Amino acid sequence: MHIDFSPELNILKLDNVGVSLHCHHYNCGLIKAIEEIEGIDAYSIIVKAAQEEFYYNFKNYIVSHLSKESIDEQIKVAVELYKFMGFGIIDFSELRENGGKVYSNSSYYVTGWLAKYGRRTTPVCYVTCGFISGILSAIFKKSVSAYIVQETRCMISGNELCEFSIRLIE
C-alpha cells in the first residue's frame, strides 16, 4: 500500500486512487442520516458503492502488483488493505471461491457506532459487506456483483464476532 500526499492541493492518493480521512462522527453519521430517510434503502446504496469501489480499485491493484501472486496471497493483501484503511481486522480463512464465512473481531463501524450512538439491534458493517463482495469478485475474476454478502452477526448487538455469509450467485 502506497500513500501519496500533495500538500498544495490536499489530495491523498492510495495506490494512485483518491482517498480521504474521515472520523466516526461523519462515517457513522452518514449511515444514520441515510437510514432515517423514508423510501431509501441505505444498506443497498452503501454496500453497492463500497462493492464497486473495492472491486475496481483492487482489480487494478491486482493487475499492477499481484498478477503473479496466488489467490491466498491476493487475499492476504486485501486483508492488509482493510486494516491499513482503518476498517479493522478481517479473517477470510473459512472462505472458498463459491462462498462461505468471513469473520471480524475488530470493526471500525462497530467501534465508531458504539462511541457515538451505543448499541443497536441490527448489523452496521455495511461497508465491510461491500468490501468483501468487491474484493472477492476482483480476486476470482467475477462480475462486480457476483457475490452476495450478508452480515449475519454483528458485535454492535453484543455478539463476540461479526460474521458475514457469502454466496456466489453466478
Site of interaction with other proteins (CB under 8 A): 5, 7-12, 14, 17-27, 29-30, 32-34, 36-37, 39-40, 45-46, 48-50, 52-53, 57, 82-90, 106, 108, 111-112, 115, 127
Q: Which is nearer to other proteins, 106 or 145 (CB)?
A: 106
- For 10-17, which contacts have Cβ atoms below 8 Å and span 24 or more sequence positions? 14/85, 15/57, 15/61, 15/64, 15/65, 17/57, 17/60
CB of 169 to other proteins, least distance (A): 22
- Specify the 3-state DSSP secondary structure of 55: helix
Q: Which is nearer to other proteins, 30 or 167 (CB)?
A: 30
Q: Which is nearer to other proteins, 25 or 96 (CB)?
A: 25
CB of 49 to other proteins, least distance (A): 4
Angle at 129 between CA 84 and CA 170, to 5 degrees: 120
Phi then psi dihedrals of residue 168, to 5 deg: -85, 125
CB of 70 to other proteins, least distance (A): 23
Q: Which is nearer to other proteins, 88 or 123 (CB)?
A: 88
CB of 111 to other proteins, least distance (A): 6
CB of 78 to other proteins, least distance (A): 13
11-43: string of b/e by CB count within 10 Å (b at 16+)? eeebbeeeeeeeebeebbeebeeebeeeeeebb
Count CB neighbours of 162 within 10 A.
Answer: 27
Q: Which is nearer to other proteins, 84 or 93 (CB)?
A: 84
